[in-house]
Amino acid sequence: MDLTQERMQILEMLSDGTITVDEAEALFRALESSEPVLAGNFGPAPVPPIPPVPPVAPVAPVPPVPPRPRILTSDPARTGYSPGEAAELAAELSLLGNRKLSLSELQELRLHNVKPAYVRSLREAGLDEADVDELVNLRIHNVNAEYIRALRETGLDDFDLDELVELSNHSVTPAYIRGMREAGITDLDVDELVECAIHGVTPDYLRNMRKAGITDFDVDEIVQCAIHAVTPEYVVALREAGITDLDVDEIVQCSIHGVTTEYLRGLREAGITDFDTDEIVQCAIHGVTAEFVLALREAGITDLDVDEIVQCAIHDVTPEFIRAIRESGLTDLDLDEIVRAANHDVDAGFIRDVRAIFPNIELERIIEIKNEDIALEELKELRQSGFLDEEGEQA
């Protein structure tokens, strides 16, 4: 009897992993014992059936064994921890991603009282990764598990370790966060909370600014108010002094440049009553005082607007300069012309010297001569030779 087909079947089952080697050998032995034997007129011996192969149960994969944390020192006593405490700390740190600890790292941890219980509490509070330097920094700035949990309970859960340290370092407590939200700022991120805390923006400050009429502001604006000492009292005083339509940026500019209520009242008493915030800030920047305005009026400049007064201050057009210009013979100059003369370094002495050569000369021609830097002697010769007329123009 040809048993080739059965042998091939056994080999295929072995190849597929359906049966083991031992089971395959047993099957082969069974086949060999069933081969036909010639004995008289008897036919071939019956072939016993192949017993069924029981199913093989799948083998569960063996999980990888994580590497054991190692302390890289031959002298554990130098770490400052007992051997058991050092081993416990190393195990806790390994769960935060620190597999190897050097002697200097352990000494740094011990110096700042980083113990296994502290590391474990941070991990249980949701910290899943931190190196030695970060743990030390957290400990230095008194960041503990209770603080982390309390921050998360306020809804502030999107922060990294550096931001966590910043929050603690600047005393951003859960109570502070809740207070700011109750005062109307509800969408603060970590950086904004820290900025507010650094510059003294408190819930009370926000509430009092709203009472003073500052209701439309963002976080950057309110921080700028705090930086530049814009108090609710200052806002109220500005309004009482007549500045009623101020926005936050304008109030900050007023504070930066020293626009006080006394300054505003002084300008109004000097006759400057119609001005906007930009103009009053320009006055303060360029040193326009009530005394300066009064002195200009006494010098005969009575129809001044704010821009003209500022130009006088910028170009050093003092009451004395105005009087000297008019005494030089040009009596009908308006303020713009006087400012133009000052802007081109044309003073009363130069006007007198030029008018001695050209009696009917206009201010614009005097300015041209100044800019052309023509010597007075040369001008005198040209006038005497008849090349220039009494107005300084070509004859």
pLDDT digits (tens, 9 = 90+) for 53-89: 566 666 666 565 555 566 666 565 677 788 788 888 8
Res 14 pLDDT > 80: no
Residue 19's nearest CA partner among 48, 58, 56, 74 is 56
Whole-number Å distance between alpha carbons of 70 and 87:
8
Q: For residue 101, list its beta bridge partners.
A: 71
Domain boundaries, the chain: 1-56, 315-395
| Number of C-beta neighbours around residue 333 at 10 A | 17
pLDDT of residue 77: 64
Per-residue pLDDT averaged across 89-108, rounded?
Answer: 88
Per-residue pLDDT averaged across 46-54, rounded?
Answer: 60
Q: For residue 102, list its beta bridge partners.
A: 72
pLDDT of residue 40: 42
- Which of 12-21, 197-206, 288-297 shows the lowest mean pLDDT across its residues? 12-21
List, for residues 319-373, the tens digit of each pLDDT value: 898 888 888 888 788 888 888 899 899 999 999 999 999 888 899 999 998 998 8
pLDDT of residue 169: 94
Per-residue pLDDT averaged across 160-185, rounded?
Answer: 93
Tell me which DSSP letter residue 393 carries.
S
List, for residues 109-141, the tens digit of each pLDDT value: 999 999 999 999 999 999 989 999 999 999 999
Mean pLDDT across the chain, nearest whole number?
84
Res 392 pLDDT > 90: no
pLDDT of residue 74: 54
Tokens representing 362 are 């206009």
Res 217 pLDDT > 90: no
pLDDT of residue 207: 94
List Cα–Cα distances, 212 to 185, 206, 215, 252, 260, in angstroms: 17, 10, 8, 14, 17
Q: What is the helix (H) or strand (E) element at residue 13, kind and residue range?
A: helix 4-16
Helix (H, G, I), strand (E, B) or coil at 101: strand
pLDDT of residue 4: 67
Greatest alpha-carbon span in the chain: 168
Whole-number Å distance between alpha carbons of 388 and 395:
5
- Which of 39-53, 101-115, 141-155, 231-245 shows the lowest mean pLDDT across its residues? 39-53
**Do residues 233 and 210 touch, judged by C-beta distance below 8 A?**
no
Q: For residue 394, list its beta bridge partners.
A: 388
Instruction: Compare 200 and 30 and report the one with higher pLDDT.
Output: 200
Confidence tier at 90 by pLDDT (50, 70, 90): confident
Q: For residue 71, list its beta bridge partners.
A: 101
Residue type, 135: L
Per-residue pLDDT averaged across 139-144, rounded?
Answer: 94
* Residue reference for tokens 């009292």: 233
- Which of 92-96, 198-202, 209-213, 389-393 shows the lowest mean pLDDT across its residues? 389-393
Instruction: Compare 157 and 233 and report the one with higher pLDDT.
Output: 233
pLDDT of residue 41: 43
Q: Is the pTM of this model over 0.85?
A: no
Res 42 pLDDT > 50: no
Res 32 pLDDT > 60: yes
Res 38 pLDDT > 60: no
Percent of the chain with pLDDT over 90: 37
| Number of C-beta neighbours around residue 98 at 10 A | 19
- Which of 97-101, 274-278, 325-329 shows the lowest mean pLDDT across its residues? 274-278
Whole-number Å distance between alpha carbons of 199 and 252:
15
Q: What are phi and psi of 260, to 5 degrees?
A: -100, 170
